[in-house]
A and B are shown apart, each in its own frame.
Chain A
Amino acid sequence: MRRVVVGAHYGLRDWLAQRVTAVIMAVYSVVLVFIVLSEAPLRYDAWRDLFAKGWMRVATLLFGVSLAWHMWVGVRDIVMDYVKPDGLRLAIQVLTLLTIAAYLGWIVQILWR
């Protein structure tokens, strides 16, 4: 199959993903802020119980996956703009991907310890 680098679709998926994940995280953030501020001052019991709820774990995991994807597109954009040497750019991108994977793994571990 012939691939044209400047053709349609290239980059569109990332562009769209960045916006969809942004909306998901925005909704989660607003809900979390309302919950936390309505509990204030926050005690450990309430904090633990909140993240023990099934829907909260799933919502937080959805937030984590959105965060990971959003971070990848955003950091990659920054790296593509400012880091010109190919080797260094590739190294930073690989490091970024590993970091994001570790973040996501840690989130899962925190939620289902």
Chain B
Amino acid sequence: MANAAIKKARPKYLSLAALLFEIRLPLAGWVSILHRVSGALLFLATVWLLFLLDRSLASESGFESVRSYASNPLVKVALLVLIWSYCHHFCAGIRFLFLDIHKGIDKETSRLTSIVVIVAGLALAALFGARLL
């Protein structure tokens, strides 16, 4: 404390560069921000998903048109992103429910479950993507 030479510059303001390159978000932080991002994406995409559900249930020709629409590569990528969003949001949400009841809040377990959530979200998205698209 007495040594002024090692005293860091305070206050420290967060810049975008600092957020991107200087501060390394812990894994639990990544799970959390991705939970938020995926949730926002799903909220915004619901209009599109409801449109697809509406068309697919309306008639046989509507169902086929959704199927051929979903074979477009750009649509496939968009659907895959949304499938991942749902899977990650699902897995991260379950982790948060356990944190709510004070399960897995110590550092090691929290880190481990963060890895599990990120990997499970990606793996489930790959599985459902391969089966459905």
B64 touches A74 (CB 8 A): no
Residues of B within 8 A of A22 (CB): 93, 97
B128 touches A33 (CB 8 A): yes
With A103-B47, A110-B57, A113-B58 as known contacts, state yes or no: A26 contacts B94, CB within 8 Å: yes
Residues of A within 8 A of B97 (CB): 19, 22-23
The residue from B57, B58, B90, B131 contacting A37, defined by CB atoms under 8 A apart:
B131
A103 touches B36 (CB 8 A): no
Interface of A is mostly: helix
B124 nearest CB neighbor, chain A only: A33
**Nearest-CB distance from B45 to chain A (Å)?**
11
A44 touches B100 (CB 8 A): no
Residues of B within 8 A of A36 (CB): 132
**Nearest-CB distance from A46 to chain B (Å)?**
10
Question: CB of A71 within 8 A of chain B?
Answer: yes
Residues of A within 8 A of B57 (CB): 47-48, 51, 110, 113
With A26-B94, A44-B64, A110-B50 as known contacts, state yes or no: A75 contacts B131, CB within 8 Å: no
Question: CB of A78 within 8 A of chain B?
Answer: yes
Can you report 28 residue pairs joining A to B where beta carbons are below 8 Å apart? A19-B97, A19-B100, A22-B93, A23-B97, A26-B90, A26-B93, A26-B94, A29-B86, A29-B90, A33-B128, A37-B131, A40-B131, A40-B132, A44-B56, A44-B64, A47-B56, A48-B63, A51-B57, A74-B39, A74-B43, A75-B40, A78-B36, A78-B39, A103-B46, A103-B47, A103-B50, A106-B54, A110-B54
A residues lining the B interface (CB < 8 Å): 19, 22-23, 26, 29, 33, 36-37, 40, 44, 47-48, 51, 67, 71, 74-75, 78, 99, 103, 106-107, 109-110, 113
* A-B interface, 4 closest residue pairs, ranked by CB to CB distance from nearest: A44-B63, A44-B60, A74-B39, A110-B54
